[in-house]
Amino acid sequence: MSDTVPTSWLVYCRPGFESDALAEMQHHAKQQEIICEPTQGEGWVSLTRQDGEAINDLHRQAAFKRLIFARQSLAALPALTLSRDDRLTAILDQVKASRWSFEEIWHETPDTNDGKALAGLIKALTKPLQSMLKKRGALRGKAGARRLHIFWTDGDRVQLGMSFPDNRSELINGIRRLRFPSRAPSRSTLKLEEAWHEFIPRDEWDERLAAHMQAADLGAAPGGWTWQLVQRGMYVYAIDNGPMDKQLMATGQIDHLREDGFTWEPPQRLDWLVCDIVDKPVRVLAMVERWLTRKWCREAIFNLKLPMKKRWDEVTRCLSTLEEALATAGVRATIRCRHLYHDREEVTVYVRLAH
C-alpha cells in the first residue's frame, strides 16, 4: 500500500475552458457520489477528494475517451513547492513515498506563454532526474506501461501525476500538432485532419477513408475540409453559396452546388458527411439529425459552435438530443465528442452508424 496515494484528478485543457472541464469532472464525481474540492489554474483543473481517499476509481471510471474538454487525464499527488536551490529532492522524495513505478517520464506545462517559458529549465533537469529515478528503481523497463507526468505550473511548482494505458492521451500536453498543408484553401482543414486522428484508428484509414468514397461537405467554401476529402481520393459534393478554391476545383473530384447546406439532400447514401458551418448548435444539430436518422451517410464529423458560458451544459444537451433522436428512429450509432486542439469556440462531434 502506498504511503502517498493519488488524491487528485488532474486534467489539462485549453486556457479559457477551465470552468467547462471542471463542470465535466464534477459531473462524473457526482455520478459516483464522491465529494471533491476543485482547484484550477490557467490551462488545467483538478478535483481532490474531501475524504482523503484515493482518486483512482473516479479517474478510471471517467474514461479519457469519454471526456470532452480534457486534453490529458491523470491521477495526481499533492502539488509540490520546490526549492530553487534544489528542485529535484522534493520530487524524488514524493515518488519514493508514493512507491510509484513507471516506464516513462514526461515533463509537461500548461498551454500558455508562461508554460512555454519553462522549456529551458525542464531541459536542464530532465536527464539528472531520469538518472536518479532509474537508480532508485522507480523508472524501469516493465511497469505496466505506466507513465509519470511532471506537470510544471511554475519554475518552483510541480504536480506529479500518473497515467495508464488506454486511459490517457498519448500526446505530449495532450496536443496534436499538425503541419498546415500549403495547398489547402484554409487553416480549418486541420480541424478535420485532427478529427480523423482522434476518432478513427490509423490502421483503419485505408478502409474508412478510402479512395472512390463519396462525401458531402456542408458549408464547404472555400474548401478547407473538402481538400482533406479530396486528398483521400474521395468524390465530394461541396454545398455552399460561396466560391470554392479554383485549384481545388481543378481536381475534378468535386461537384460544387450553390445550395443551402441546411436543406440540401444527397442523391444517394454517402459514405461521409462533414460540416463546419458556424451557426447556432440547435440548427446544425437538427440538420445532422435528419441526415443520420434517414441514414443518408455512414459516418459524420461536424462542429457545434458553443456559447461563451455554460459550454458543458450546451454540449451535453446537444449530445443527449442527438442520442434520443437516433434511439427514437431505431438507429444504432457510436457518438463521440471532443474539444480538439484546432477547435476554438466549438467542439467536434463524430458519429458512426452501425452497419
Radius of gyration from C-alpha coordinates of the chain:
23
CA distances from 138 to 5, 102, 133, 143, 202 (A): 16, 6, 5, 9, 32
Residue type, 110: P
Separation between Cα atoms, residue 257 and residue 18, nearest integer Å: 40
Please state, in angstroms and rounded to a whole number, the distance separating the CA atoms of residues 228 and 45.
34
Please give the full DSSP string across 260-310, using - where no structure is assigned.
Answer: -TTT---SS-EEEEEE---S-HHHHHHHHHHHHHTT-EEEEEEEEE--SS-
On whether 43 is known to bind a ligand per the annotation, the reply is no
94: nearest Cα among 41, 148, 48, 46: 148
Q: Is 260 annotated for ligand binding?
A: yes
Q: Which of 96, 116, 134, 305 is catalytic?
A: 305
- Secondary structure letter of residue 77 according to DSSP: P
Q: What angle do CA 43, 75, 196 make, to 5 degrees?
A: 60
The question of whether 142 is a catalytic residue gets the answer: no
Between the alpha carbon of residue 16 and those of residues 20, 42, 209, the distances in Å are: 9, 7, 33
279 annotated as ligand-binding: no
Give the integer Cα–Cα distance in Å for 75 and 94: 14
Q: Is there a binding annotation on residue 223?
A: yes
Is 76 annotated to bind a ligand? Reply is: no
What distance in Å separates the CA atoms of residue 237 and residue 254, rounded to the nearest whole number?
6
| Nearest residue to 198 (alpha-carbon basis) of 301, 84, 109 | 301
Query: What residue has cell string 522507480?
Result: 138
354 annotated as ligand-binding: no
Consult the annotation and say whether 181 binds a ligand. no
Residue 174 in marked binding region: no
The whole-angstrom distance between residue 10's C-alpha and the CA centroid of its chain comes to 15
Q: What is the DSSP string of 165-204?
A: TTSS-SSGGG----PPPTTSSSTTHHHHHHHHHHHS-GGG
Binding residues: 188, 221-224, 240, 260, 276
Binding residues for S-adenosyl-L-methionine: 188, 221-224, 240, 260, 276
Residues belonging to the active site: 305
